[in-house]
Structure 1
Amino acid sequence: MIDITGLHKSFGSNAVLRGVDLNVETGTSTVIIGGSGTGKSVLLKCILGLVSPDKGQILLDAEDVTRAERDPFLAKFGMLFQGGALFDSMPVWQNVAFRLLRGSLRKPVEEAREIAVAKLARVGLGPEVAGKFPAELSGGMQKRVSLARAIAADPQVIFFDEPTTGLDPIMAGVINDLIREIVVEMGATAMTITHDMSSVRAIADRVAMLHRGKIRWEGPVAEMDAASDPYLRQFITGAAEGPIETLR
């Protein structure tokens, strides 16, 4: 589904991506781990075409993303943003149906609302939530609304950016379970950025560690804990001592 070869991206003198190679198979869930500032978010932005790479190639279904027609291309994606990124001035159903009310995916208002209510039900929220505003909801409910919005248009690819940030362990577990169930049900291809190793183990088929702009380790999640790579070992154990530099 997604084939990345020799991807480079710098901002001035700061080389963020330094030759990323990664293949994400259709219908699988890949989780990208790595420290802050290692280029995880830049990688997703390059795939979406929001940032232009300096060098390398990204193919989606064998099509070069830099040459794709934007509206049909972006219609293939769903996105769960870090922090939710809901529109405060819109009721919940309009947030969920945002893409269904505009652009090439536009549907009649009543149909869009019906779809939004159905997607809210899928993430465990009743129809009474549809007319509320985000500020009236708890953090966990807001995250569920954001997940409903990400799947509203039945995308082929879903990106999850730190899906459990700011949630307590119980709610984080609920969101992880929902993500896994929904990805399997939809047959979608998923890419997730997270620092939460509980999320990694709950939702990943494969794990890729990004360090200093390159994929340091990549493989099945079942092999992660037994891997000998010292960078991966330090990251997943949270050890202060190791090859990854820490500020003291």
Structure 2
Amino acid sequence: MTTPKIELKNVHKAFGPKKVLQGVDLAVDKGESMVIIGGSGTGKSVTIKSVLGIITPDSGEILIDGKPQGRDRDAFLAQFGMLFQGGALFDSLTVWQNVAFRLLRGSLKKPKAEAREIAIEKLRRVGLKPDVADLFPAELSGGMQKRVGLARAIAAEPDIIFFDEPTTGLDPIMSGVINELIREIVVEMGATAMTITHDMSSVRAIADKVAMIHEGVVQWSGPISQLETSGDPYLDQFLHGRAEGPIEAVR
């Protein structure tokens, strides 16, 4: 058996009396695209933040390549890239400076000219022309901002990429473009991907495997090919948006 790229073992996290993660077990193999689905407040974002070390679990283990997070925080984070919900670009920086943000500081620091060259190459990869590089985020459409965020996520050639609601706020056509780009880039780079989303078109476009989190545990996990035939009543209700079922709607 190969060692998973990312593995969570019985991970628990509570915020005061609110128990968010209540024993998450999840394994993501190297080069695999795992999409995590579930209702709002079920623990999807907390799961990703725990893997990144932004949140410290109360108990359980999180392993990367079979090892716990090391003491060298910069080296640990250098493995990751992330496309944030809404893009999360820095308004005061130009597009290329946003893309090259990690390449201009810290352990990955490169000369400014080299960082700019890499940024422009990554912008080309996501379908943006070099003349976009010196614009500011406010001068871009929502779809272009999302592409810039994707270029930033891959700028440092990370082993693992996280996607947080990658198509939020985009129209169906642009959502399809972003989903296709994500899939192409993850495959090209051989990266391991973890995505959280409510958008089932994204799930079907970019997932190798799917995990559904409900009430702080992985309710179901399996290959995308089994999504519609899982037989799991929680997953079935979520996929079809039914009001009736084991998941109680908050009224």
Q: TM-score, normalised by structure 1?
A: 0.99
In the other structure, the counterpart of 2:139 is 136
| AA at the equivalent of 1:105 | L
- List gaps (5 residues or longer) in structure 1: none
Partner residue of 1:214 out of 217, 222, 242: 217
Matches within 5 A, 1:128-207: 128-207=131-210
| AA at the equivalent of 1:123 | V
Partner residue of 1:234 out of 237, 242, 245: 237
C-alpha deviations, 1:21-42, integer Å up to 9, x for none?
A: 0000000000000000001100
| AA at the equivalent of 1:107 | K
| AA at the equivalent of 1:13 | P
Percent of aligned positions that are identical: 70
C-alpha deviations, 1:72-112, integer Å up to 9, x for none?
A: 00000000000100000000000000000000000000000
| AA at the equivalent of 1:166 | G
Q: Distance in 2 between matches of 1:120 and 1:155?
A: 16
C-alpha deviations, 1:171-204, integer Å up to 9, x for none?
A: 0000000000000000000000000000000000
The alignment status of 1:64 with 2:65, answered yes or no, reads no
| AA at the equivalent of 1:119 | K
Q: Distance in 2 between matches of 1:136 and 1:68?
A: 40
User: RMSD of aligned C-alpha atoms?
Assistant: 0.6
Runs of 4+ in 1 over 3 A off after TM superposition: none
| AA at the equivalent of 1:70 | R
> Which secondary structure does the structure 2 equivalent of 1:132 belong to?
coil
Q: Distance in 1 between matches of 2:31 and 2:244?
A: 37
Q: Distance in 1 between matches of 2:135 and 2:31?
A: 34
Aligned length: 247
Partner residue of 1:45 out of 46, 49, 54: 49
> Which secondary structure does the structure 2 equivalent of 1:59 belong to?
strand
Q: Distance in 2 between matches of 1:69 and 1:224?
A: 39
Q: Distance in 2 between matches of 1:40 and 1:12?
A: 18
Q: Distance in 2 between matches of 1:226 and 1:99?
A: 42
